């Protein structure tokens, strides 16, 4: 064993010089650390590894054995084996650290986004981003996002705004429900299911709005009205009839859109009413044994008796 260590120390010491020269020419080949620099090669092959070889040689001297050939060979090959192994180990550590940092950054970003969305919901200014739904989005919120995206695609931002208003009211009702009832209670589950059904019906209405708006998307009403004015005093009866029919299609579609809009407004009113009613529900038992009026009357009677007792004494 000591002969092997002596041979290994000799081989390791002799191999430091060629690896030092390689590090001076191209540090990337001899230095596994990042970044590979010549200063690292100097520290590694002039001070670090020679000191290790010297320490191994000193600790093996007292054995009194001659250096072994196998130790020589392994010492000469030690750096050639260690450099790629260390490079891969350092690369694995770097990838693991990057993955951990990336996961931490993503978690912080999701937490900040959730906090921002919660603040916007409380302020009543929350807006849905169809491309990036909220981090805690359920089936109802995702349906509202999809409906808003389709309405924006047919250039009906005025109708798409209803999705934001429905989302704000939906989350407000859920927050109130969570504050008043335990999630394990039957009342909580039934109320949440009914609120979800109302919002899903409103999302279906938004989908119907998209279908209606897409049907008349290619009709230029400004052109139709302008053309009707131009042909008002001409004999182009067939053209005027066609233009009037086209305008009637747009008018009927807008009427149907208005009906669907009114349905959604009624749904939002129902959600507002639900939030108010749930906020009035008293689910906590009062901490006081008596109500305020009775407690006040008892205190006044006690003070009156205390004054009489003071006069008697």
Average pLDDT of span 71-83: 85
Q: Which residue has the higher pLDDT, 282 or 82?
A: 82
The full 3-state SS of 278-302, as one line of letters, equals HHHCCCCCCCCCCCHHHHHHHHHHH
**The two three-digit tokens of residue 3, written as one number:** 């002969």
Report pLDDT digits (tens) over 243-277: 778 788 888 888 998 999 999 998 888 888 888 88
80-84, 158-162, 213-217: least confidently modelled range: 213-217
Averaging pLDDT over each range in 54-68, 131-145, 230-244, 287-301, which range is the top one?
131-145
pLDDT band at 193 (very low <50, low <70, confident <90, very high): confident
Long-range contacts of 62-69 (CB under 8 A, 24+ apart): 62/2, 63/1, 63/2, 63/3, 63/6, 64/2, 65/2, 65/3, 65/6, 66/3, 66/6, 67/3, 67/6, 67/7, 67/10, 68/3, 68/4, 68/6, 68/7, 69/7
**The two three-digit tokens of residue 274, written as one number:** 């639900």
Half-sphere exposure of residue 141, counting CA atoms within 13 Å on the CB side? 20
Average pLDDT of span 176-199: 81
Residue that has been written with the tokens 């009624």 in this structure? 266
The residue length of the chain stands at 313
**The two three-digit tokens of residue 263, written as one number:** 């349905």
- In this prediction, residue 125 carries a pLDDT of 47
Q: Which residue has the higher pLDDT, 9 or 298?
A: 9
- In this prediction, residue 262 carries a pLDDT of 92
pLDDT band at 234 (very low <50, low <70, confident <90, very high): low
Mean pLDDT of all residues belonging to the chain = 79
- As a whole-number percent, the residues of the chain with pLDDT over 90 amount to 4
User: What one-character DSSP code corresponds to residue 68?
Assistant: P
Peptide bond into 35 cis (omega under 30): yes
Report pLDDT digits (tens) over 116-126: 666 655 544 45
How far, rounded to the nearest angstrom, does the alpha carbon of residue 138 sit from its chain's CA centroid? 14
Report pLDDT digits (tens) over 12-55: 888 888 888 888 888 888 888 888 888 888 888 888 888 888 88
> pTM score > 0.85 for this model?
no
C-alpha gyration radius of the chain: 41
The rounded distance, in Å, linking the Cα atoms of 138 and 221 is 39
Burial 118-157 (b: 16+ CB within 10 A, else e): eebbeeeebebebeebbeebeebbebbbbbbbbbeebebe
């Amino acid at each position: 064993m000591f002969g092997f260590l002596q041979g290994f120390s000799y081989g390791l010491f002799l191999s430091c010089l060629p690896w030092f020269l390689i590090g001076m020419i191209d540090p990337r080949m001899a230095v596994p650390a990042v970044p590979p620099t010549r200063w690292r090669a100097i520290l590694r092959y002039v001070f670090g590894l020679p000191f290790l070889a010297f320490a191994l040689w000193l600790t093996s001297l007292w054995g009194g054995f001659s250096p072994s050939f196998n130790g020589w060979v392994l010492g000469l090959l030690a750096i050639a084996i260690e450099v790629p192994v260390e490079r891969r180990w350092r690369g694995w550590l770097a990838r693991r650290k990057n993955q951990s940092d990336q996961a931490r950054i993503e978690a912080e970003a999701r937490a900040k986004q959730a906090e921002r969305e919660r603040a916007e919901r409380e302020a009543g200014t929350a807006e849905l981003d169809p491309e990036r739904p909220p981090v805690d989005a359920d089936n109802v919120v995702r349906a509202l996002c999809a409906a808003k995206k389709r309405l924006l695609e047919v250039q009906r931002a005025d109708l798409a705004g209803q999705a934001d208003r429905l989302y704000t009211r939906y989350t407000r009702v859920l927050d109130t429900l969570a504050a008043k009832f335990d999630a394990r209670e039957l009342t909580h589950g039934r109320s949440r299911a009914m609120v979800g059904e109302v919002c899903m019906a409103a999302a279906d209405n938004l989908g119907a709005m998209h279908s209606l708006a897409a049907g008349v998307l290619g009709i230029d009403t400004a052109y139709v009205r302008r053309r009707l004015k131009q042909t008002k005093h001409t004999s182009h009866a067939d053209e005027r009839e066609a233009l009037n029919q086209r305008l009637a299609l747009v008018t009927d579609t807008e009427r149907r859109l208005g009906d669907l809009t009114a349905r959604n407004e009624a749904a939002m009113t129902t959600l507002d009413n639900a939030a108010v009613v749930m906020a009035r529900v008293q689910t906590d038992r009062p901490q006081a044994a008596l109500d305020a009026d009775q407690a006040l009357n008892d205190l006044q009677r006690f003070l009156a008796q205390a004054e009489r007792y003071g006069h008697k004494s």
